[in-house]
Amino acid sequence: MAPNCAFCHQGSFRLRPDDPATLVPAGAGTRVNVQGFLRFLISSGGDARFTSDNVMTAITAIYDMPLWERLLYRYLLIPAVRSAFQDQAIRFAWMKPRPDCPRPDWGPGRIDPFNPVKFHNLGLPDDCTIGNSDIMPLWDLNRIAADPTRQYSLHWDGLSTSLRETAVAGAIGDGMNYQAFPDAKPALDVIIDFIRLQKPPPSPFSAARKADDPYHVDETEVAAGKALYQTHCADCHEPGGKRFRTLICTTALSRPCVIYWRPRLSGRESSTAAMTCSIRRAAVSPAKRALPPSVSGLCTTPLSPATATVGTSTAPVCPNKTSNGCWPS
């Protein structure tokens, strides 16, 4: 059992304090504290009170288990869960701040999607980089997935321009390997279709509401705000804007945001794209493996002649986008 996509990519709102929460599928989880949840699980696994006796006492207080189920929980499931939490403590030990590496917490609505892959999946050493990123909404992505006129950056660093590759990379970050990919592919296909077609909810703000309604807006102010938005924001944030979902050179960003990945790494350490390409190769016939992933539809940029080894699989590496000069030296 593990969090699914909605753990991060589902929002909620209330128009009034006493209203029930309205869930927003594919919205940004602006209040979910992923790091806090991980720390809770790690703390639980190391707590001396986490024993089969204590957990079974709590369970049987509300549920009368049959004998076979009690034995299963007591001697297999509860010890396995505690062991998994303890393993997770080792896997995420890099999150602990230390004098030579004072990383900031992720905070609600944010996650570090890069360093767990670097340190666990690829086995790289802890380099004290910071990958904290906002959790993004995933709705209405068909407008970019189906646009034949240009490519869009689907990670803030421009690591991918393919919606399918991004979905596969997300599954890799959650632990999927090339052996699990064939079974996971049908579910990934459904998820991709969902985020392509899911629309954002309508705004509750309207000039048609009564003047004393907290969600009433003045039409004149809306028009003035729209003009400011078109002047200062739309180039980057409006679909169709010339910089919408494009790379922003690192000279415009703060240093911690651009050094989480080392562009000069070689071999299996080049990028998570190597793992994605490896999964693609594992899922196709030997005859088709000769085709570059750019042809087979996973990696959408030309491939370099370099290769990367991931586990027992070797695959061409999708190159980092260095031609625009936007990577740090």
Q: Round to whole Å and give the CA distance between 244 and 151.
A: 10
Res. 322: pLDDT tops 60: no
CB proximity list for 89: less than 8 A, separation 6 or greater: 42, 45, 46
Average pLDDT over residues 7-11: 91
Residue written as token pair 């790494």: 265
Residue written as token pair 């309207």: 206
- Banded pLDDT at 315 (limits 50, 70, 90): very low
- How much is the pLDDT for 314? 33
How would you label 266-282 residue by residue, b for 16+ Cβ within 10 Å and e otherwise?
Answer: eebbbbbbbbbbbbbbb
Q: For the range 183-192, what are the long-range contacts, defined as Cβ-Cβ under 8 Å and sequence gap of 24 or more? A: 185/283, 188/164, 191/5, 191/167, 192/163, 192/164, 192/167
Q: What is the mean pLDDT of the chain?
A: 78
Element (H, E) at 58: helix 52-60
Res. 198: pLDDT tops 80: yes
Total H helices, total E strands in the chain: 12, 6
Which tens digit of pLDDT belongs to each residue from 138-184?
A: 989 998 888 888 888 887 667 788 899 889 988 887 778 889 999 99
Enter the tokens of residue 98: 């230390």
Average pLDDT over residues 310-319: 33
